[in-house]
Amino acid sequence: MSQALNTNQLPTWCPGCGAFVVGAAIKNAITNKKLQPKNVVICYDIGCSGNMANLIDVCGFATLHGRSIPVACGVKKARPELTVIAQAGDGGLLNEGLNHFVHAARRNDRITLILNNNQIFGLTAGQQSSATPQNAISRATGRINETAPLSAVDLAVASGAKFIARVPETDLKLMQEIIQQAIVFEGFALVEIIQPCKIWARDFKKTEFRKITKPFKRKTDLIGQNNLIGLLYWEK
């Protein structure tokens, strides 16, 4: 793992959190692509995974809950030569800032969106989010979640995204390969990382993933297939 992009700060994450893997994958991808850290801007959401802002030595910007996308889009519009990444959790992307996600994909804003999907509101202690699986019991409320979750991949398809990928937290190699492709992609790129919270989502039913090796030709075929992982769709 690349040491060059480390700061002197300690992570605030719980042991076993998927965010450690995601942080490593982002740093490796930047290093492998030989990007100068000062030319990389990462806009962070608020929440557990957003605390990554303190840990990667690039031009980091800890923004607001649900608002990493608008800030990132402004940066990219102003300075197209910079590599711009927006990070968001499922609360920030599928609850608070959903509007921006749909529109950035529609406009094909040239940013990479990294979604840390831990399936729950983590930092506020376990309330259900729009990504919480149906019938799961959220520990904060003790209630069964009666509603089906929103799929970021399905929304990206419907909104016209040109690069769509889903990766589990357990596959660092695949994650960094896909992030590497995403950050040099000339268009809106979604990389969803499934990293169920080790504290609040540990009782949720585990998804059995199926890795695909070739992206889909027709993106609408993706809809509803929430167990697929890999680069799912890519429009050159």
Partner 1 sequence: MNNKVLAIKICAPAGSGVMQISELLCAVLNEAGFYSLAYPEYPSRIRGGDNNVQILISDRPELAPQNKVDVLFLLDENLRNDHLKDIKNNGQIFSTATAKIDALSEVKQNPFVKNTALAGYIWKTLGQDLAILTQQIEKKFRHKHLVENLNAAKQGYDLASKIAEYVLRGVKEKIINATGNKIMADFAVKAGCEYASIYPMTPITGLLSHLSKKIETITPEDEIFAALSTVGAAYAGKRALTATSGGGFCLMSEAIGLAGMAEIPFVVILGQRPGPSSGIPTYSAQADLNFAINVGQGEFPKIILAPGDLEETAKLTLDAFNLADIYQIPVIILTDKYLSENRFSLLQKTIEKIKIKIDRGKRFSANQKNYAHYQLTKDGVSPRAFPGETTFLTNSYEHDEKGFSTDNVEIRNKMMAKRMKKTNGLKGGFEIFGDKTSPTAIIGWGSTKTQILPLLERNTKYKYIHIWRVWPFPIELKRELKNIKKAIVIENNFSGQMAKIIQNETGVSVKAITKDDGRPFFQEELNKLIKQNL
Residues near partner 1 (CB under 8 A): 7, 9, 37-39, 41, 43, 46, 51, 53-54, 57-64, 67, 70-79, 81-82, 99-100, 102-103
Q: How far is the CB of 46 from partner 1 (least distance, A)?
A: 8
User: For residues 100 and 219, which CB has a smaller minimum distance to partner 1 in the complex?
Assistant: 100
Q: Which residue has the tokens 């050159």?
A: 236
Q: How far is the CB of 200 from partner 1 (least distance, A)?
A: 22
Cα–chain-centroid distance for residue 90? 8
Q: How far is the CB of 86 from partner 1 (least distance, A)?
A: 10
User: For residues 28 and 51, which CB has a smaller minimum distance to partner 1 in the complex?
Assistant: 51
Residues counted in the chain:
236
User: For residues 61 and 185, which CB has a smaller minimum distance to partner 1 in the complex?
Assistant: 61
User: For residues 130 and 138, which CB has a smaller minimum distance to partner 1 in the complex?
Assistant: 130
User: For residues 82 and 212, which CB has a smaller minimum distance to partner 1 in the complex?
Assistant: 82
Q: How far is the CB of 17 from partner 1 (least distance, A)?
A: 17
Q: What is the DSSP string of the chain?
A: ---TTB-SPPP-PPTT-THHHHHHHHHHHHHHTT--GGGEEEEE-SSTGGGGGGTB-SEEEE--TT-HHHHHHHHHHH-TTSEEEEEEEHIIIIIITHHHHHHHHHHT-S-EEEEEE-SSBTTTTSB--TTSPTTPBPTTT--B--SPPPPHHHHHHHHT-SEEEEEETT-HHHHHHHHHHHHT-SS-EEEEEE---TTTSTTSPPP--EE-SS-BSSGGGGTT-TTEEEEEEE--
Phi-psi region at 224: left, alpha or beta (left = phi > 0; alpha = psi -120 to 50): left
Q: How far is the CB of 175 from partner 1 (least distance, A)?
A: 23
Q: Nearest-CA neighbor of 176 among 42, 33, 26, 34?
A: 26
User: For residues 83 and 138, which CB has a smaller minimum distance to partner 1 in the complex?
Assistant: 83
Q: How far is the CB of 212 from partner 1 (least distance, A)?
A: 32
Q: How far is the CB of 185 from partner 1 (least distance, A)?
A: 19
User: For residues 88 and 178, which CB has a smaller minimum distance to partner 1 in the complex?
Assistant: 88
